[in-house]
């Protein structure tokens, strides 16, 4: 079952009408039952997103794949609807039994940035049962089984459990977040929380790598604010391959099928406001990770440090953040594989995206970025954010993303990656408006200027990649 644009527009009008009526009656329309310790609630989210992009990927296809027929200028319309129902029941023991079922139907009308369009799919999103309550000696537990969302730390490693776009549609919206299979056990005592997990991501049928992950997260949330945590992830099973740079960077990268299996990652993350008095509005946030796989001789590193400063006494309450993030690439001059595997990170511009436009080209491997963001709030309902990112490659002549830019140079040699470190400079201006408690509007304009590394691939000075979008989301 696929919902088209007309269906979603009609549904939006009906839902908005219902919302207005219910608001007048001052009750929650999604609360279906609340009596005798049992609560049943409906959930509904849907949205429309209009996108226009020009000179996509800086028109690299014209140079690296001239016979592909790829059109770098396109417009498309995305839509999705996500209905669900949840319940909680208070048991005689004092524990709470709870659960949720939801689905996502999405569609793309027109051709998107990855040359896919007029397609969509309906998939199960959440379908879990859980039990939570107080254990002995002040220990709180929360265990669940079944597809659901899970984000750990700052979202560097474990956040996005599902894939949208391509045959599923809704590339930019990315409405799917839940893991296809999940077993999660959380135990808390005072300021400490331990989370054990087994996860199977909801991958695209066309590129399913049969991935299975397990691990543990330990987190300390002091009452004074901030947090400190540690995450360990082990890839139990995978057919996903890894690329590795050719010796000396001369030649096409080698690709090892199933290389991800056995990869282990240890990450440490934290946030603090270390100053008092006049410097109390400064915050520091950071996460670092070390990754290894003895079976394939993998050793990789990644991390980010963010410094934030709020100005609550100034008009529009500005908030300024400066961050630097880096993900190791494979050194062509060693036999060890140093390419960092970013696993399932949160890829939005406000989280772990490397740039705005560039995030569609470079995953968090063999890249680093210096980013600056300024956010202002002209009113409680309006937010304007300007983001800038300067993006570079960590290793030259080494795969960036998954071997993109592998090509034959003017001398007939096969080369990979880039020969100049500077990849791009991205600017992104975003405006968000809370229309009412259920309706949210977001608009954005972005431009990515190619750096020397991209220009070298093109063999000329490249033109900027530009785009804009306007979306509305209804959430009940």
The whole-angstrom separation of Cα 386 and Cα 457 is: 29
Of 222, 312, 320, nearest to 271 by C-alpha is 222
| Tokens 């527009």 belong to residue | 9
| Structure tokens that stand for 42 in this block | 């409906």
- The pLDDT value recorded for residue 320 is 97
Those residues of the chain that have pLDDT short of 70 are 1-26, 278, 402-416
On the 0-12 / 13-18 / 19+ scale of CB atoms within 10 A, 25 is exposed
In the DSSP assignment, the letter for residue 260 is T
> How far apart (Å, rounded) are the C-alpha atoms in residues 274 and 238?
41
Query: Do residues 159 and 152 touch, judged by C-beta distance below 8 A?
Result: yes
Does the pTM surpass 0.85? The reply is yes
187 to each of 69, 138, 155, 414, how far by Cα in Å?
54, 10, 20, 53
Closest CA to 361 of 373, 369, 353: 353
- The Cα 101–Cα 121 span in angstroms is 17
Give strand pairing partners of 133: 141
CA 316, CA 384: separation in Å to the nearest integer?
10
- Residue of 102, 89, 73 lying closest to 33 (CA atoms): 89
The enclosing H or E element of 64 equals helix 61-64
Q: How far apart are CA 347 and CA 66, in angstroms?
A: 29
Backbone phi, psi, residue 5, to 5°: -65, -45
Q: Write down the pLDDT at residue 378.
A: 98
User: How far is CA 91 from each of CA 41, 140, 144, rounded to the nearest angstrom?
Assistant: 18, 16, 16
Q: CA-CA distance, 387 to 429, in Å (whole number)?
A: 6
- DSSP string covering 145-179: ESS-----TTSSSB---B--SGGG--TTT----S-
DSSP state letter for 202: B
Domains and CATH numbers, the chain: 5-475 (2.40.160.100)
What does the DSSP assignment read for 387-454? EEEEEE-SSTTS-BTTTBT-EE-TTS-EE-S-SSSEEEEEEEEEEEEEEETTEEEEEEEEEEEE-HHH
Q: What is the pLDDT of residue 402?
A: 53
Instruction: Find out whether 119 and 4 touch, Cβ atoms under 8 Å.
Output: no
Query: For residue 248, which of 332, 331, 339, 337 has the smallest C-alpha distance?
Result: 332
Q: CA–CA separation, 468 vs 113, rounded Å?
A: 12
SS3 of residue 261 by DSSP = coil
Residues 323, 391 contacting (CB under 8 angstroms): no
Compute CA distances 52 → 35, 46, 59, 302, 432, whole Å. Answer: 49, 20, 15, 33, 18
């Amino acid at each position: 079952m696929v919902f088209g644009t007309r269906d979603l527009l009609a549904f939006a009008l009906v839902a908005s009408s219902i919302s207005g009526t219910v608001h007048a009656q001052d009750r929650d329309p999604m609360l279906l039952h609340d009596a005798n310790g049992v609560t049943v609630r409906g959930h509904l989210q849907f949205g429309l997103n209009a996108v226009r992009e020009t000179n996509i990927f800086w028109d690299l296809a014209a140079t690296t794949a001239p016979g592909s027929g790829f059109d770098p200028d396109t417009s498309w319309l995305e839509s999705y609807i996500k209905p669900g129902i949840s319940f909680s029941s208070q048991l005689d023991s004092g524990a709470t039994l709870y659960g949720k079922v939801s689905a996502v139907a999405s569609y793309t009308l027109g051709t998107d940035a990855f040359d896919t369009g007029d397609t969509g799919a309906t998939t199960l999103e959440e379908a879990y049962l859980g039990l939570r309550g107080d254990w002995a000696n002040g220990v709180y537990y929360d265990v669940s089984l079944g597809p659901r969302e899970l984000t750990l730390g700052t979202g560097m490693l474990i956040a996005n459990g599902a894939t949208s776009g391509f045959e599923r549609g809704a590339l930019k919206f990315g409405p799917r977040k839940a893991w296809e299979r999940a077993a999660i056990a959380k135990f808390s005592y005072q300021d400490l929380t331990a989370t054990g997990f087994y996860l199977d991501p909801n991958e695209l049928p066309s590129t399913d790598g049969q991935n299975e992950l397990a691990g543990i997260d330990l987190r300390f949330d002091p009452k004074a604010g901030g947090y400190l945590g540690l995450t360990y992830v082990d890839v139990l099973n995978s057919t996903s391959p890894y690329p590795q740079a050719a010796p000396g960077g001369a030649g096409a990268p080698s690709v090892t099928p199933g290389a991800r299996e056995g990869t282990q990652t240890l990450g440490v993350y934290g946030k603090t406001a270390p100053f008092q008095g006049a410097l109390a509005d400064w915050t520091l946030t950071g996460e670092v990770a070390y990754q290894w796989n003895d079976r394939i001789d993998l050793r990789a590193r990644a991390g980010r440090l963010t410094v934030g400063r709020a100005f609550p006494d100034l008009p529009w309450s500005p908030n300024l953040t400066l961050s630097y993030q880096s993900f190791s690439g494979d050194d062509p001059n060693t036999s060890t594989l140093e390419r960092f595997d970013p696993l399932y990170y949160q890829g939005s511009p406000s989280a772990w995206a490397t740039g705005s436009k560039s995030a569609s080209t470079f995953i968090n491997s063999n890249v680093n970025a210096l980013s600056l963001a300024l956010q202002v709030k002209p009113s409680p309902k309006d937010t304007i954010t300007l983001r800038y990112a300067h993006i570079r490659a960590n290793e030259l002549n080494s795969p960036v993303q998954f071997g993109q830019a592998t090509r034959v140079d003017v001398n007939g040699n096969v080369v990979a990656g880039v020969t100049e470190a500077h990849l791009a400079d991205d600017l992104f201006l975003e405006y968000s408006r809370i229309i009412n408690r259920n309706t949210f509007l977001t608009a954005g304009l972005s431009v990515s200027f190619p750096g020397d590394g991209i220009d070298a691939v093109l063999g000329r000075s490249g033109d900027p990649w530009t785009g804009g979008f306007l979306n509305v989301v209804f959430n009940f």
